[in-house]
Structure 1
Amino acid sequence: MMAFYDYLEIEKKWQNLWESKNNFHGVDFSEKEKYYMLVMFPYPSGRLHMGHVRNYSIGDVIARFKRMQGYNVLHPIGFDAFGLPAENAAIKHGTPPKDWTINNMEEMEKQLKSLGISYDWEREVKTCLPDYYKWTQWMFLQMYKNGLAYKKKSFVNWCPSCQTVLANEQVVNGKCERCGTDVGKKNLEQWYFKITDYADRLLKDIEKLKGWPDKVKTMQENWIGKSEGAQIQFGIEGREERITIFTTRPDTIFGVTYVVLAPEHPLVKELVKGTEYENSVNEFVQKMQFMNEIARTSSETEKEGVFTGAYAINPLNNERIPIWIANYVLMDYGTGAVMAVPAHD
């Protein structure tokens, strides 16, 4: 029995053999049943760590198992190399982003190959190179020409240290998961894809995701975020503007006792300007800048609100009802304004 496992010699021997025989190449035209094994591409903002090893070794086990079952497996690898994490790392190290990114990719390739993971290196993708991003640009132009890509201003999570927009999942306890800086809101003009045109199809196709955890499928449904309802316009006492609210229960309009605006709603500052409510409302708006949407809409979060001093008019019964702002109303949902019917909530 071998007393010492010389992994450098033994593993290199087999890795060289696999490479010489091109064992992991996904054949373009094969009579075998196809299997596509895709793992998340790493950001080349540094070197590989044990989190990468855990993720990619699991994917490798599946790819090898499927080959043993007789499948024609396509198991590609690449680098998500065209984003702000790599640029921020380059700034931190005082190195041009291109040099930093290319050097990291070369080093990570060596690390991945030393692990012996069964990638088809002929299918390697580097998203920062023209042979890849020319196609993403082409796809964007097709969507733009067909009205599926558009620009608008919206409040986003903003990390002042990383100088970048963050997804809700990247904000942990009000701080940037990468650098720990307090995250606020910033009103930026940005590009959007009009997925709403495909909401029904996207929701229906979730049923085709066999084997996916229910939790993940629910997250996808929430991300698509389709709601069916009606838009109703409420007048504002003493003003010409109107508040358009979205509701899934227009039948309850006679029970409305107040209207709620998102703190980021463009009407908020106008309603309180020069009034006794201006300071308290602005303080509440500022507080909401450091609270992400997940926390604001959580069932565990206490509902908070501030009266604006203004009143809306119910369009059906002309009843005068107060206008509030609250943490649980989001600017990105519906119109950023809802009607409150406490008896039905």
Structure 2
Amino acid sequence: MADTYDFRSIERKWQDYWRQHNLFQVERREDKPKFYYLDMYPYPSGELHMGHVRNYIIGDAFARYRTMQGFNVLHPMGWDSLGLPTENAAIKFNQHPVEWTALCVGNMKAQFERLGISYDWSREIDTSSPDYYGWTQWLFLQLYKNGLAYRGPGLVNWCPGCCTVLANEQVVQGCCERCDTAAERVTREQWFFRITDYAEKLLGDVKLLGRWPERVVRMQEHWIGKSEGFSFRLSVEGLDEQMEVFTTRIDTIFGVTSMVLAPEHPLVAKLTEGTEFEAPVREFAQRAMGLSVMERGSDETEKLGIFTGAYATHPLSGQRIPI
């Protein structure tokens, strides 16, 4: 008997056994309750880091726990591999994106297997595969044909380093989480989906989530974004323009003391152009736009503002309202 435990040889032995006997491959079973456990697919950067290990081992422990409880557990894995980060990496290492992705996927899959995670690799998907994205294109066309997809200008988080748009969650303290370049808030022509057309159905489905944490449920409802209220218009002194205001509490209109514009609002530049307020307002707006949408909306972030030097007219009393 060996004096020491040989981790490598013993792990390799049993991982080979699992692979040869398709231990984690799931078949349809009518005699067991089904359970679907999906970890968020990783971007195939080429190497797993400890954040990956922590995240996916937690998922594996839960999937195995459900298996031990008698569930027929489907635990698949795939690769979120389509997009500009992949193209940028391919340019950096002078390889075709397809070749680079295959190399990274192969290495990360081997690392997952060495970790012994119970994935059903027969159901592996790759979002950069034509077999996969062909269906996403088909789905987009159905939305477009039914008037649910449209183009228009919109503000995005832009990373000049990665040359790509960032999700709000990818902006950390005003910088790209991947390359640490300062993110910019810019207007880009882009595609939108009419998600609000499905707001009622989505909200109804949220109620079916069962034992989800209340905080996460609130986040889902906020993302769906249904809001009932009233819209009214305010005239702007010195400009042949009106501001449209939406409020869920129309009764508070009598107590209006000021109007607040987002720093990206096109009226900000118009209101201050050529005035003593132009430079300080521009500087303030640039600082504010350096924060992510999540940071700006956080209860923990101090709310700041700056006077534009302009006034709106109250629609009922006619009083001047500072903007």
* TM-score, normalized by the shorter chain, greater than 0.5: yes
Aligned to 1:177: 177
Aligned to 1:337: none
Q: Distance in 2 between matches of 1:200 and 1:89?
A: 41
Q: Is the 8 A contact 1:38 1:76 kept in 2?
A: yes
Deviates more, 1:58-67 or 1:121-130: 58-67
Query: What is the 5 A alignment of 1:1-345?
Result: 3-28=3-28, 30-323=30-323
Q: Distance in 2 between matches of 1:235 and 1:164?
A: 38
Q: Distance in 2 between matches of 1:304 and 1:69?
A: 53
Q: Distance in 2 between matches of 1:296 and 1:64?
A: 40
- How many residue pairs get aligned? The number is 323
Q: Is the 8 A contact 1:42 1:78 kept in 2?
A: yes
Matched position secondary structure for 2:17? helix
Cα distance per residue 1:287-330 (max 9 Å; x no partner):
2221222222333333322222222122222222222xxxxxxx
Residue type at the aligned position of 1:234: L
Q: Is the 8 A contact 1:30 1:72 kept in 2?
A: no
- TM-score, with structure 1 as normaliser: 0.86
Q: Is the 8 A contact 2:46 2:103 kept in 1?
A: no
Gaps of 5+ in 2: none
- TM-score, with structure 2 as normaliser: 0.92
Matched position secondary structure for 1:202? helix
Q: Distance in 1 between matches of 2:68 and 2:151?
A: 49
Q: Distance in 2 between matches of 1:18 and 1:30?
A: 23
Gaps of 5+ in 1: 324-345
Cα distance per residue 1:196-251 (max 9 Å; x no partner):
12223323332322332233223223322332211101112233211101111111
Residue type at the aligned position of 1:109: K
Percent of aligned pairs sharing the same letter: 57
Q: Is the 8 A contact 1:184 1:291 kept in 2?
A: no
Residue type at the aligned position of 2:257: T
Residue type at the aligned position of 2:84: L
Residue type at the aligned position of 2:190: Q
Q: Is the 8 A contact 1:36 1:74 kept in 2?
A: yes
Q: Is the 8 A contact 1:76 1:120 kept in 2?
A: yes
Q: Distance in 2 between matches of 1:6 and 1:253?
A: 74
Q: Distance in 2 between matches of 1:141 and 1:57?
A: 37
Q: Is the 8 A contact 1:156 1:166 kept in 2?
A: yes
Task: State the shift of 1:113 in Å.
Answer: 2.0
Task: State the shift of 1:29 in Å.
Answer: 5.4
Q: Distance in 2 between matches of 1:200 and 1:7?
A: 54
Task: State the shift of 1:125 in Å.
Answer: 0.3
Task: State the shift of 1:4 in Å.
Answer: 1.8
Matched position secondary structure for 2:259? strand
Cα distance per residue 1:253-302 (max 9 Å; x no partner):
12222222111112222222223322222222222221222222333333
Q: Distance in 1 between matches of 2:7 and 2:45?
A: 28
Specify which structure has the higher proportion of strand: 1
